[in-house]
Structure formats: C-alpha cells, structure tokens
Amino acid sequence: MHSNPPSHYTQLHVRLIASIFGVALLTGCGSLLPPPHPPEQIYVLEAAALPMGIKPTAPREIVLAVSPPRARAGYDTHRMVWVRQAHGLELFARNRWADTPARMLAPLLIQSLQHSGTFQAIVPVSSSVSANWRLDTEVIRLQHDFSVKPSRVQLTFGVQLVDLATRRVIASTEFEEVEPAASEDAYGGVLATNRALQRLLIRVTGFCAR
C-alpha cells in the first residue's frame, strides 16, 4: 500500500518547525558561551610640575644625581595592590598601572626637584654629568587598604642622600602619606594615590633642600 505524498501545507509546516528549532538551538548555544571580559583599565601617577607649597630658591652649587626608585617585594608590579587583612597583598584583576609605580615616580621626582630651584642641576644617575650628591629612593608601600571604612591609600617612601665624594650618607628618612578614597573601587584608589603623591613630592623636595 503506497502512502500519499505529503501535501504542500505539510511541507511548509515541517520547514517552519525546523527553522524554529534551529533558531532555538543557536540561541541556546550562544547562552552557553562565556560573557566577554570588561576592558582592562590602565592608570598613571600624575602630579603638578611644581607641587603647591614649594617656592623656588637660589640654587646651590650642587649637582644632584637621582637614582631610579626601587620597590620592596610585592610592590614592584604594574598591578594595583590592595589589602583587606594584615600581611596579605592582593591584586586588582582588571585594573593596573601603566608601568610600575617606582618607574613612574622617577620623572615626577626629577621634575619636582628641578622646579624647586634648590640645586645647580638635577640629573639621572646614568648621566655623564659629574654629580656631588646622589638621591636614592624606595617605594616601601603603595596599597589600597579596604580593611577600614572608608578605604584608604597608604604610600610609604624611603629617601637617602649620599655624598659621592666621601660615599657618606648625609641623611635618610621615610615619609608616609595616608589618603582616604572617595569611592570603594580601584579608581577611588587612583585619585587618592595621586593626592598622596602630591604631598609626598613636597616633603621629599623639602628634605633634599634642607
């Protein structure tokens, strides 16, 4: 016994069901794909050319060589560091500095010292110019502390002046700046860091001038 060929209506019905099933299958597969990651946010350390509170003075007959700032273990990274408990450092996943804070600090430090007018010249330590003193610095701590409310940025900086003729340490100290964050996120930490950095440059420049 032969079956009757499918009618035109039946064929259209089958095609419609197949199309709906195909769309549903594609939609279902699409929902299984992981969502795209948000773009990475990149930030820089910035400060005014002449920090507020510093007045240019008559230059001394001293050439100051500035060493590249160093960084303590855990802070020599372009990732932004945050903490929520003592002795534990964590890193933001999608937020980072454009370079390590130590490397970004170098030109800002030289710029601040140059505009203070304290020394005859400010040169990087790699310069061929003969210098009288050398400034060594270190990022001891730069972290966004979420263990308190509001959160805050802690910036600690070690400074040492060396007489190159005698290899004697003229003076050394540490400076610490703490700045509350305006918002509980990475960007709030960036703004707080740059405010703390502005004050830090004033203190370091004043230390070298004295």
Quickly list DSSP for 94-120: EEEESS-HHHHHHHHHHHHHHHHT-EE
Nearest to 110 by CA among 79, 135, 144: 135
Q: What is the pairing mode between strands 152-163 and 168-180?
A: antiparallel
* Interatomic CA distance for residues 91 and 143, integer angstroms: 10
Residue 101, both tokens: 């804070």
Its sign, for the CA torsion 82, 98, 196, 137, is positive
CB atoms within 10 A of CB 96: 18
For residue 6, what pLDDT is reported?
52
Tell me, what DSSP letter sits at residue 75? T
What's the pTM value of the predicted model, to 2 decimals?
0.77
DSSP-H helix ranges across 37-156: 101-116
Residue matched to tokens 């003229």: 170
* Interatomic CA distance for residues 9 and 199, integer angstroms: 81
Collapsed DSSP state (helix, strand, coil) of residue 134: strand
Residue range 85-109, pLDDT digits in tens: 888 999 999 999 999 999 999 999 9
Residue range 144-190, pLDDT digits in tens: 999 999 999 999 999 999 999 999 999 999 999 999 999 999 999 99
Domains of the chain: 41-209 (3.40.50.10610)
Tell me, what DSSP letter sits at residue 63? E
Using alpha carbons only, what angle is made at residue 61 by residues 58 and 66, rounded to the nearest 5 degrees? 95
Q: Which residue has the higher pLDDT, 107 or 23?
A: 107
Q: Which residue has the higher pLDDT, 117 or 59?
A: 117
* Interatomic CA distance for residues 205 and 210, integer angstroms: 9
